Amino acid sequence: MIAIIDYKAGNLTSVKRALGHLGYEAVITADPQEVLAADRVIFPGVGAAVSAMEDLKKTGMAEVLKEVYKRKIPLLGICLGTQIIFERSEEGGTECLGILPGTVKAFPDPLIDPKTKERLKVPHMGWNSVKLIKPHPVFSNIDPRAEFYFVHSYHPVPKYTELIYGITDYGVKFVSVVAHRGLVAVQFHPEKSGKPGLQILENFCQWRP
């Protein structure tokens, strides 16, 4: 069973639907026992860091997610779920989970494309490639030219470079894939990224850290 963390952050049903398309059973849950009994856990999200952290603390999911990481239960962070695993976010000055060392920062304002000198829109919304810094099983069988769907105004800044597995260029180069032990997290939305995104979810479901 795959547990999808329910913390009222949106986009949960899209993740469950994508897993169902691949033939995997998943449940959207905020039950600590159900999460800790799962074979693997997905921590998705669309929304604000402040309200997300409030809900995670209220339901006890904040400590459960730390325990998931400690037990090396395979854990996939998506978008907001990737940002919240770090220590602190500039979005509302939010203290986050602190599973990984680092912060979450806003895109520069204004964000200028260095090639065209034009102002880029924030939130960053649309399709972009990911340049892998080093291989990871969750990115097996992915075409290097593949593009993924992003929707975000903030991005993770890990404290240590060994946590960084992929970067994306949108006016500035930012970290779009991090991993450590049983955790892999992506700033984009694999559930909205067509075949490459489904391949990532398939790889995660087969991954044994």
DSSP string, the chain: -EEEE-SS-S-HHHHHHHHHHHT--EEEE--HHHHHTSSEEEE---S-HHHHHHHHHHHTHHHHHHHHHHTT--EEEETHHHHTTSSEETGGGEE---SSSEEEEEPPSS-B-TTT-PBPPSSEEEEEE-EESS--GGGTT--TT-EEEEEESEEEEESSGGGEEEEEEESEEEEEEEEETTEEEESSBGGGSHHHHHHHHHHHHH---
Overall pTM > 0.75: yes
Residue 189 catalytic? Answer: yes
Confidence band for 11, pLDDT divided at 50, 70 and 90: confident
> What CATH number has the domain bearing residue 38?
3.40.50.880
Provide the pLDDT confidence category of residue 204 given band limits of 50, 70 and 90.
very high
pLDDT digits (tens, 9 = 90+) for 28-77: 999 999 999 999 999 998 889 999 999 999 999 999 999 999 999 999 99
Looking at the chain, the whole-number percentage of residues with pLDDT higher than 90 is 94
Domain extent for 143: 2-206
Residue of 180, 191, 202, 205 marked catalytic = 191
Q: Is 79 a catalytic residue?
A: yes
Q: Which of 79, 96, 136, 180 is catalytic?
A: 79
What confidence tens digit (pLDDT) does each residue in 16-30 have? 999 999 999 999 999
- Please tell me the total count of domains within the chain: 1
Catalytic residue among 180, 189, 202, 205: 189
